[in-house]
């Protein structure tokens, strides 16, 4: 079984086929998610909250991501694997290069993900120049939660929406190969998706993006307390976790998820 490649994921966008992505943190779930047909596994710093029980993603370090990424790689054969770069591990282009290289060499990641706007263009350009695929992340930035104050919809006014759009264009030009767009209006998600040649993955950015991603524990209903509006519990009325993930993949591929109820 051959792994999905970045050119193949870009081809899915060109063909209009949706990309199904979920977070993953261990080998057992990686095996199951592949069986269900998930295209991309994101080793997210969300592990700080759903695995470690932290208040936010801030406490996650590079060793945590490397450890969990290695486990996901061991459990997978087909999926493309993205690893989050934790808080302040990419403050400068050289620091980003060093830590991204570790995630790929030691963790086995195929791509790294960075949160932030146009200020990262030099960093993304340097990583891309050295052959490191980069997934940008715009909209709601969980690593900035103490600055934001709460997890809320971004780009609600025209000025901030335009800024997110301009950042997306800038980061693609800098060399980003993919973009995750979190917690913005479906209108803005559609506009950015149509403007970019790279795949745009929605995390609460509406149904018109090139793919969807959810936190695994959220979509299985494991997470306690309030989950984001864009989440949906796919475990409800399903016989198993595997069936639930298959249902998620089917809903994404057939443009049934998200509905208006999970969009802004």
pLDDT of residue 166: 98
pLDDT of residue 77: 96
**Residue ranges per domain, the chain?**
6-262
pLDDT of residue 5: 98
Ramachandran quadrant class, 136 (left: phi over 0; alpha: psi -120 to 50; beta: rest): beta
Are 183 and 162 contacting, i.e. CB atoms less than 8 angstroms apart?
A: no
User: Residues marked as binding?
Assistant: 45-46, 84, 113, 115
pLDDT of residue 59: 96
> Is 182 a catalytic site residue?
yes
Query: Comparing C-alpha atoms, which of 41, 51, 55, 123 is closest to residue 83?
Result: 41
Residues of the chain scoring pLDDT < 50: none
Max CA pair span of the chain: 49
Model's pTM, two decimal places? 0.96
Select which of 166, 182, 197, 208 is catalytic: 182
DSSP state at residue 86: P
Count the Cβ atoms, other than its own, within 10 Å of residue 12. Answer: 17
CATH class of the region 6-262: alpha beta
Q: How far apart are CA 13 and CA 16, in angstroms?
A: 5
pLDDT of residue 147: 84
52-108 per-position pLDDT tens digit: 999 999 999 999 999 999 999 999 999 999 999 999 999 999 999 999 999 999 999
User: Residues marked as binding for 3-methyl-2-oxobutanoate?
Assistant: 45-46, 84, 113
pLDDT of residue 204: 96
């Amino acid at each position: 079984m051959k792994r999905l490649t970045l050119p193949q994921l870009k081809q899915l966008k060109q063909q209009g086929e949706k990309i199904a992505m979920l977070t993953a943190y261990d080998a057992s779930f990686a095996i199951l998610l592949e069986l269900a047909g998930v295209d991309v596994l994101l080793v997210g710093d969300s592990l700080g909250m759903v695995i470690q029980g932290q208040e936010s993603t801030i406490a996650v370090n590079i060793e945590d991501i490397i450890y969990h990424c290695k486990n996901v790689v061991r459990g997978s054969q087909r999926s493309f694997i993205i690893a989050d770069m934790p808080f302040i591990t990419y403050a400068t282009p050289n620091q980003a290069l060093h830590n991204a290289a570790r995630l790929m060499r030691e963790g086995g990641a195929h791509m790294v993900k960075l949160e932030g706007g146009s200020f990262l263009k030099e960093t993304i350009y340097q990583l891309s120049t050295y052959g490191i695929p980069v997934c940008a992340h715009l909209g709601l930035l969980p690593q900035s939660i103490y600055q934001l104050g709460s997890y809320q919809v971004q780009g609600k006014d025209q000025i901030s929406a335009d800024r997110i759009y301009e950042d997306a264009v800038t980061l693609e030009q800098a060399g980003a190969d993919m973009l995750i767009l979190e917690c913005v209006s479906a209108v803005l998600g559609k506009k950015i998706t149509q403007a970019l040649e790279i795949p745009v993955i929605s995390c609460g950015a509406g149904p018109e993006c090139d793919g969807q991603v959810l936190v695994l524990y959220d979509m299985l209903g494991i997470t306690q307390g309030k989950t984001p509006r864009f989440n949906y519990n796919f475990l409800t009325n399903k016989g198993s976790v595997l069936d639930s993930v298959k249902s998620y993949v089917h809903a994404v591929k057939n443009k049934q998820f998200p509905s208006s109820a999970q969009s802004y």
